[in-house]
Amino acid sequence: MKKPFVTLEQLKEITKQYPTPFHIYDEKGIRENARKLKKAFSWNKGYREYFAVKATPNPFIIKILNEEGCGTDCSSLTELMLSEALGIKGHNIMFSSNATPAEEFMKAKELNAIINLDDFTHIDFLEKTAGIPETICCRYNPGGLFKISNSIMDNPGDAKYGFTKEQMIEGYKKLKSLGAKEFGIHSFLASNTVTNEYYPALAKILFELAVELKEKTGAHIKFINLSGGIGIPYKPDQPENDIMEIGEGVRKAFEEVLVPAGMGDVEIYTELGRYMLAPYGHLVATVLHEKHIYKEYIGLDACAVNLMRPAMYGAYHHITVMGKENEPNDYKYDITGSLCENNDKFAIDRMFPKIDIGDLLVIHDTGAHGFAMGYNYNGKLKSAELLLKEDGSVQLIRRGEEPKDYFATFDFCDVLKDMKY
């Protein structure tokens, strides 16, 4: 059973000031999780977590993680600007992008961020636009299927990201000739894995590649970035990952492969988003309508604008009807939003206690890839974001959008300029 980190009594007080829908984040949980991750990899002196900004691009959240020792993983100009605004610069930023515009490479170089190249052709593009830095990283794609214990985890061969092994070898040689002195390896082979085997298996692949690259190019491998991929149990009956066991598995692969090759000084980096934030965010919504036709529908004031994953991927997010946690789940509902799209549903044919108009619903695990994936289809406006602080107080960390925000880019339109909101 998933238990919300806020109570019904807390939500009743919060909604007096901040109307639903809104995303709310748990500062205490975020900090504790960041400290546990750091402990799991404390065996590696150079270890650093680069939080994936795309997961939750809110400066208040990023500041909390930065205070816990995390850098930022950025993939766009605005994410770089957000890091800069928070005082995060230099090698505390990892810039991992693809099909990258010149101005983004230039900004990353200006901030002295670690640039992670996605393609062999980007070497020439970077050299012409921003110049080759002394520390550079390349993203590896091994191709084929990625398997663990004969289970297919993902299909890297069908992914648009990364260099082939042959391109990695030639790329390192070329980068060295252009002045690069220290190198990193990056790879992302599977998403949202709920298994303690993923990171150790990935680590061994990258460690073996690092040894080969050193032997064939003479490059000094400074770090290996395991990227993201550690998932969370969205469903109540799924087991959780054990980050301590995962860290130990990576350590064993490190001792087995890198240490005998004289590469025991390699730093290990991670680039987690979902694992860092998803469990520590809720989308809170109010029941506005109930509909009785061929099925039973519950209509919320939230929609896919606030949480796209169920509509986009058919993803499961657990839902708690606040105040009714101990009542039997003997009513079958579709929980919907108000978009003009039939896939705008948070749950389909799911069993709940009886839901009434005015009930508050907590949609779990929205702390990553929740608000961040929002959009404005149907002219819907993005919600506020709140922070439940460690002392129990609540802080507004992003106001909800207003109609004036939606119309702001129509600055050529006199009719909208004069509109009152």
Structural domain includes residue 40: yes
On whether both 252 and 353 belong to a single domain, the answer is: no
| pLDDT at residue 150, as a whole number | 56
In a domain, 17, yes or no: no
The verdict on 249 and 362 lying in the same domain is: no
Per the domain annotation, does 421 fall within a domain?
A: no
Does 159 share its domain with 231? yes
Kindly give the residue spans of alpha helices, DSSP state H, lying in 317-365: none
The reply to whether 90 and 122 lie within a common domain is yes
Q: What is the pLDDT of residue 417?
A: 65
Same-domain pairing of 267 and 377:
no
Same domain, 263 and 287: no
Torsions phi, psi of 304, nearest 5? -65, -20
- Domain annotation covers residue 7: no
pLDDT of res. 145: 78
- 345's tokens: 């549903």
Q: Domain ends where: 257, 278, 299?
A: 278
Structurally, how many domains does the chain consist of? Answer: 2
For 59, residues 6+ apart whose C-beta sits below 8 A from its C-beta are 82, 85, 86, 397
Under a CB-based contact definition with an 8 Å cutoff, are residues 53 and 72 in contact?
yes
Q: Which residue has the tokens 């506005």?
A: 288
420 within some domain: no
pLDDT at 146: 76
Q: Do 274 and 321 reside in the same domain of the chain? A: no
Q: Using omega within 30 degrees of 0 as the cis cutoff, is the peptide bond preceding 21 cis?
A: yes
CATH code: domain of residue 334: 2.40.37.10
- Kind and range of the H or E run holding 203: helix 198-217
Is 5 among the domain residues? no
Do 269 and 283 fall within a single domain?
A: no
Q: Which of 260, 278, 296 is the last residue of a domain?
A: 278
* Residues 193 and 48 grouped into a single domain: yes
Total residues found in the chain within this entry? 421
Both 273 and 194 in one domain: the answer is yes
> Given this model, what pLDDT does residue 157 score?
73
Domain span holding position 45: 27-278
Active-site annotation, residues:
340
Based on the domain organization, do 133 and 186 belong to the same domain?
Answer: yes
In a domain, 284, yes or no: yes
- What pLDDT is attached to residue 419? 63
Q: For residue 112, what are its two tokens? A: 């002295």
User: Distance between CA 363 and CA 84 in Å, rounded?
Assistant: 32
Q: Which of 246, 278, 310 is the last residue of a domain?
A: 278
- Residue 264, amino acid: G
User: Which stretches in the chain have pLDDT values below 70?
Assistant: 149-154, 415-421
Please check whether residues 319 and 253 belong to one and the same domain.
no
Say which CATH number the domain at 237 has.
3.20.20.10
Question: pTM surpassing 0.75?
Answer: yes
What is the Cα–Cα distance from 231 to 86, expressed in whole angstroms? 27
